[in-house]
Structure 1
Amino acid sequence: MKSILLGLCMVCANLMGYAQDNPLPKLDLGLFSTDHKQIDTSAHAIVLHEHGRTELEVIEANRGLMVVTKVFVRKKILDKDGVDAANIEIPLYKYGSDMEYVREIKGKTLNFEKGNLQTDELKKEAIFTDKVSPYSEKLKFTLPNIKDNSIIEYSYTIISPAVRTFRSWYFQSEYPVLHSEYVAVIPSTFEYNVNLKGYYPLADQKSSVLNKHFVLNGVRQDCSRMTYIMKNVPAFKEEDYMLAPVNFISSINFELRTYFDPSGPHTNYAKKWSDIDMDLMQEKDFGGQIKNKGAFKDILPGIIEGKDNKLDIAKSIYYYLQKNIVWNDFLGKFAENGIKKALETKKGNIADINLGLVAALNAAEVEAYPVIISTRNNGIPSYIFPVMTDFNAVICMAKIDGKDYLLDASKKFLPFGELSLSSINDRGRVIFSKNQSDWVTLANAVPSKKSYNIMAKLDSTGKMKGTIRAQYNGLDALIKRSEIDSYNTFEEYEEKLVEGVSSIRLMSSKVENLEEVEKSLIEVMEFEMDMRDNYRGDNFILNPIMYDRTTNNPFKLDERNYPVDLGAPQIEVFNINISVPVGFNLSNKPKDSAMTLPENSAKYTFRSIFDNNILLLQQTTTLNKAIFTPEEYFHLKEFFSRIIQQQMTDFQFKKI
């Protein structure tokens, strides 16, 4: 990935001198008839032109300096499947007590039919806002009268208090982009770090000076006008096993470094990690919670009673908090209500629970520290310079008998020492003290494993009866337990399970160790299967991998510029034993197969034996590492393609 660090003098600017006219080029009617599908045959819409401009303005209603970003977009809907491109969502965030807001929303749909240009304006009632959390909202609107080859235009202005971090501008989206242009107007008294992410280069970069453009406290300042342009940017295509798209999409991002006060000393905002360590540990909703050992004074003796080693003590505390405080689905680095109230109400955000876990472990004389993380869908935190806004959650590290354990007591069914997939996102920062912290790799040592043991008997009438015994470990066990728990009753889960396996008829099922998370989760299913359609006179065919067979390759791109991230090594095992009617011989079968990728990063074996009317089959797929590089992508894609081909070949039997 290209990562360009640029030093720029930038900041606050008012809107003086900013042309209020739409910066989009004059509409060319030829765009309606141009075949834009040639650019990307899989695209259902295309961004023809987009323009963004960020300045700062002193807004009296907000009593302060605000970041003002104006956005103008023109898109073309290529076919009926592109209607989603007319559904616009603008995320808004809360900074302190101030929430971002949007004004000057305009939009229209243009259709050119029978030589006439028809315009449908965006109606006010089509604009609404959804509250996502106490800290974020989402403004939405939909452009009207969308047809094939409609062109839509819309614009809006975002007002944000986030002077220290300008809103990122994304040159790339889920649709191809022909022209994306971003302008930042930068007063001379501010210096920002500017980071260009992604795999595509700028088509052009310009700079100019706006003399006496910005006014602050009655003093006029010069500003730099920086323009960044990308052209013909391919659509970003998401695929299985990837981190958040924000890590890879071509974008430009800002972080305030220094403010030079014209009448005084400069202020350095680009803090070192030691500064952040100090700030966190002095914050009552972070460091204050870690010190609150008194919250556990009365309950701790009962929690650890009978435990004589630190690992057992730590596990008792971990599982107590996991079972007695329900996560309210809110993330955050800072406690929302505090561990004391979370214990009373039995509810809290992720920081309430995990900062409380640190405090409880320390109270029991188990060495523990908080670890700030960025969850998987939030993006990888920057290593170039500390950016606190990169982190949106906190977990715990316990050091026991020379071993480090990463813990997250907020996640139901998560075993001690394992992380959920949402927390496995490259690295986190463990805060040891007010002046010491370090990076820690977020990973699970336990592989994600599924094992299927299938025993069945096929009778002479074509009916098969048998048992499927599925065993889950690691992330697979967590996912399966969470799936079962999402239903009101186990009977509801069974009903959905039956609907999901149309090829076989499930007669009954049961689950073992649902609550005992350190044991394998086991699911046993009795089934029947009508095989009469598989008979052809004196012959019949059989595909033994009848449950949870891989039928679609998760890797479809011709080229992938970002890693395949599985979250953990993966193992899948099938052991199959099928008894066939007496009087049949095996006439044809898939060849035994074995594949290994370079450096033993992945391995596949397929072996079968037919003896004494019993077909024995073993298939094992092993991915020995959690992350595969873009250079390994083609091999991994081909690996799964060959597995699917192997599994599609039937066993053929002939009557003696």
Structure 2
Amino acid sequence: MLKFTSLVILLFSMTTLAQENYNSESYKVVLGDIESTTFAKDSTANALVIYEQGKSHVDNNDYDLRTEAKFKIKILNSEGFDNANVEIHLYNNKSKSEKIKDIIATTYNKNGNEVTTTKLEEKNIFREKYDENHTLVKFTLPNIKEGSVITYSYKIISPFVSSYKGWEFQGDIPKLYSEYNASIPGNWLFHTRLVGGKKLTTNTSVIKKECLQMRNGASADCSESVYAMKNVPAFIEEDYMTTKRNYLARIEYDLETFRDTDGTVINYTKSWKDVDREFRTDKEIGKQLKKTIKTEDLLSSAIINDADQLNKAESIYNYVQDNYTWNGDYKIYRNVSVKDLLKNKSGNVSSINILLHNLLRESGIDVKPVLLSTRNNGFPTTIFPAIFEYNYLIVQATINDKQYLLDATDSYLNFGDLPYRCLNQIGRLLDFKNGSAWIDINPRTHSNVFYQTNLKFDENDLLVGSIKTKRTGYHALYKKKEYYSNEDEYINTLENKFPYIDISNFEVTSDGVESKDFKESYAIEYNFDDVGDNVYLNPFFVTFFKENPFKLQERSYPIDFGYSDSYFYMFNIELNDHYSIVEIPKEQKIALPNNTGQLVFSSKQIGNSINFLLKIDFKTPIYDVDYYPYLKAFMSKIVEIQNNTVILLKKTI
């Protein structure tokens, strides 16, 4: 039997090897690329990059940046057909634009013993305007089938040498081999950044003498680098993460200085001291931050004369929230106008929060602007100022030696809280007197969800009772938005949420939109399952997590909840003389490593009553990737308890 099993394993291994004979060493398509039908390292993959290469250099004739890209991809099944749809972004400004040429694309299929090729025709290449600065070049590889191999290549000519092309080693499908070649003349000095935490399998650089000839007879040496990665897994997005741009394995270039042939040096990467000075004198943000506002034209005398600085600041904050609407625009470097905001009652992020900043300053409160990059925009660079990476502006107010981070774009936010989109770890505090500095962007408070359910059998053996809930922090914010934006829809949704529960006497018991929490209560009637003499009750009317959000075998990026929180579910049922307890669930307790979270489920019988308590704690907003298997098991246990907990009762009469 042992010999037979070993033989089966050997035959299976040989079959797998025979099925996978990809040529990942060159762009050339070989028979093994076409005949291979699987990818054992990732059985979920629908397509596979067998080989890809990019090359960039500065042209000797016109000094344009020329980039050639080649891709060879295996289509494993029909769900991978989307990889035959190609989009290429070309950048342009008012005076110059990128161009593309030499697009060559071919599909390879095997019909019987014959390999056929189908080439892309020029008429099937389309161009469309994406926005004022980008054009899309689009095409679809022809004759795609399961098992097809596709190749395509193109050349981009760019007059924007200062924006040297980067390269993505990782994408939505796995890659066997990805290579990038960069030739950079010594006149240009770039910061080279490897993002994503994955190691290069090739990382070489040599100096090529006099690679670039200048018009005045001068020449420049070039740094010629080769970067490559092998067996790069697909990047799969999962819940509780910031933008994937933070974690994709790639190489990026940021221009630091340019030295012209006459010896002139232009510094593109400035110090924060330089940036502070530029912001202070900037015609957009700088000018608006210095704008004087007559508080008596906007604020009531009660607010102006309030001697309590914190009360005054909260009142000014509420005034801006209630009277000016965010138009959804994130612009912070252009179209910033407090004057237009006052006139139109609507404006972008910067306009609204600069108005808040100026009103607080004119009222004698110490305020400073803070630059942010939102969660969907990516982490800002910390090693040097990269101003283009910021897309948001908030305000820091210091009152009685305590700092408050403020954003008036959301009318449901409480004073001192930030929108979830802003929870991206760090921001740059602009202090034009003492110099700017990094500050932590952390939630002000822990967020909580409380449920208290009380049930009893009445004289007609109906199971009736009440539910009371309380939410704080971000959980309260979400519920306030749901309820106060459409109260009728909120109640209808609640009533339809539980198929076996009838809801009545719904009431919100917190103190309106400005309340720091959200509380509600309602009466319920539980329509339970009655199977002969047995009664089965599911005590969890509410499931905090309907399914486990963590499904990957491995995760290569942190678990970022944005804020720490806790969930409490308390359940009590009081029986009458017609029912007795047969079985209640066992107690359970699980802790995450280093006391970063815990799950407690307790069940107790006291006389003819049953008490349940489910408590879930996530004690930190961000968990390192090493915690992933523990969080995955942790969430699995939560879902299991919520979905499978049953109280078994027996009729006694």
TM over 0.5: yes
Please, which moves more after superposition, 307-316 or 274-283? 307-316
Cα gap change, 1:497/1:478 in structure 2, threshold over 3 Å: closer, same or farther? same
CA contact (8 A) 2:352 2:409 kept: yes
Matched, 1:630 2:629: no
* Deviation, structure 1 residue 493: 4.4
CA contact (8 A) 1:608 1:617 kept: yes
Please, which moves more after superposition, 399-408 or 231-240? 231-240
CA contact (8 A) 1:278 1:434 kept: no
* Deviation, structure 1 residue 424: 0.9
Aligned partner of residue 609 in structure 1, secondary structure = strand
Matched with 2:14 is: none
Matched with 1:258 is: 257
Per-residue deviation, residues 516-552 of structure 1 (Å, max 9, x unmatched): 23331234455555423xx332222222012224342
Mapped to 2, the partners of 1:378 and 1:116 lie a distance apart of 45
Cα gap change, 1:635/1:265 in structure 2, threshold over 3 Å: closer, same or farther? same
Cα gap change, 1:324/1:86 in structure 2, threshold over 3 Å: closer, same or farther? farther
Q: Which runs of 5+ in 1 are unaligned?
A: 1-22
One-letter amino acid of the counterpart of residue 450, structure 1: V
Matched, 1:389 2:388: yes
Mapped to 1, the partners of 2:174 and 2:631 lie a distance apart of 26
Matched with 1:605 is: 600
* Deviation, structure 1 residue 372: 0.7
Mapped to 2, the partners of 1:606 and 1:288 lie a distance apart of 57
Cα gap change, 1:113/1:480 in structure 2, threshold over 3 Å: closer, same or farther? farther
Please, which moves more after superposition, 642-651 or 490-499? 490-499
One-letter amino acid of the counterpart of residue 49, structure 1: Y
Per-residue deviation, residues 185-228 of structure 1 (Å, max 9, x unmatched): 21121111111122321111333555554355454534332221
Matched with 1:651 is: 647
Matched, 1:242 2:238: no
RCO higher in 1 or 2 (8 Å CA, sep ≥ 6)?
1
Matches within 5 A, 1:499-648: 501=498, 504=501, 511=508, 516-524=513-521, 527-532=524-529, 535-580=530-575, 582-611=577-606, 613-647=608-642, 648=644
* Deviation, structure 1 residue 321: 1.8
Match of 2:488 among 486, 491, 495: 491
CA contact (8 A) 1:447 1:568 kept: yes
One-letter amino acid of the counterpart of residue 253, structure 2: F
Q: Which has the larger radius of gyration?
A: 2
Mapped to 2, the partners of 1:31 and 1:460 lie a distance apart of 75
Please, which moves more after superposition, 591-600 or 441-450? 591-600
CA contact (8 A) 1:366 1:400 kept: yes
Per-residue deviation, residues 104-157 of structure 1 (Å, max 9, x unmatched): 35545443333342526377567464747x777766655455432233334455
CA contact (8 A) 2:57 2:66 kept: yes
Mapped to 2, the partners of 1:213 and 1:387 lie a distance apart of 30
Please, which moves more after superposition, 538-547 or 205-214? 205-214
* Deviation, structure 1 residue 74: 2.5
Normalising by structure 2, we get a TM-score of 0.86
Q: Which runs of 5+ in 2 are unaligned?
A: 1-24
CA contact (8 A) 1:540 1:652 kept: yes
One-letter amino acid of the counterpart of residue 616, structure 1: N
Matched with 1:52 is: 54
Matched with 1:169 is: 167
Matched with 2:3 is: none
Matched with 1:339 is: 338
Matches within 5 A, 1:400-549: 400-433=399-432, 436-457=435-456, 464-484=463-483, 489-496=486-493, 501=498, 504=501, 511=508, 516-524=513-521, 527-532=524-529, 535-549=530-544
Mapped to 1, the partners of 2:214 and 2:295 lie a distance apart of 52
Cα gap change, 1:254/1:507 in structure 2, threshold over 3 Å: closer, same or farther? same
Mapped to 2, the partners of 1:123 and 1:504 lie a distance apart of 62
CA RMSD of aligned residues (A): 3.3
Mapped to 2, the partners of 1:387 and 1:164 lie a distance apart of 14
Please, which moves more after superposition, 300-309 or 246-255? 300-309
CA contact (8 A) 2:127 2:135 kept: no
Cα gap change, 1:340/1:37 in structure 2, threshold over 3 Å: closer, same or farther? same
One-letter amino acid of the counterpart of residue 615, structure 2: T
Count of residues in correspondence between the two structures: 624
Cα gap change, 1:99/1:642 in structure 2, threshold over 3 Å: closer, same or farther? farther
Aligned partner of residue 378 in structure 1, secondary structure = coil
Cα gap change, 1:645/1:111 in structure 2, threshold over 3 Å: closer, same or farther? same
Mapped to 1, the partners of 2:395 and 2:60 lie a distance apart of 41
* Deviation, structure 1 residue 467: 4.0
Cα gap change, 1:361/1:66 in structure 2, threshold over 3 Å: closer, same or farther? farther
Cα gap change, 1:290/1:40 in structure 2, threshold over 3 Å: closer, same or farther? same
Mapped to 2, the partners of 1:44 and 1:437 lie a distance apart of 48
Match of 1:205 among 203, 212, 226: 203
Mapped to 2, the partners of 1:353 and 1:187 lie a distance apart of 45
Aligned partner of residue 275 in structure 1, secondary structure = helix
Per-residue deviation, residues 236-272 of structure 1 (Å, max 9, x unmatched): 2222222222222211111112222221232332211
Normalising by structure 1, we get a TM-score of 0.85
Please, which moves more after superposition, 630-639 or 584-593? 630-639
Mapped to 2, the partners of 1:357 and 1:108 lie a distance apart of 58
Mapped to 2, the partners of 1:137 and 1:303 lie a distance apart of 54
One-letter amino acid of the counterpart of residue 454, structure 1: T
Matched with 1:16 is: none
Mapped to 2, the partners of 1:59 and 1:297 lie a distance apart of 64
Mapped to 1, the partners of 2:571 and 2:88 lie a distance apart of 51
CA contact (8 A) 1:188 1:224 kept: yes
Matched with 1:4 is: none
The alignment-based identity, stated in percent, is 33
Cα gap change, 1:612/1:360 in structure 2, threshold over 3 Å: closer, same or farther? same
Matched with 2:303 is: 304
* Deviation, structure 1 residue 636: 2.6
Matched with 1:378 is: 377
Cα gap change, 1:606/1:155 in structure 2, threshold over 3 Å: closer, same or farther? same
Mapped to 2, the partners of 1:271 and 1:358 lie a distance apart of 26
* Deviation, structure 1 residue 328: 1.9
One-letter amino acid of the counterpart of residue 39, structure 2: K
Mapped to 2, the partners of 1:307 and 1:53 lie a distance apart of 65
Cα gap change, 1:260/1:149 in structure 2, threshold over 3 Å: closer, same or farther? same
CA contact (8 A) 1:579 1:614 kept: yes
CA contact (8 A) 1:450 1:573 kept: yes
One-letter amino acid of the counterpart of residue 518, structure 2: L
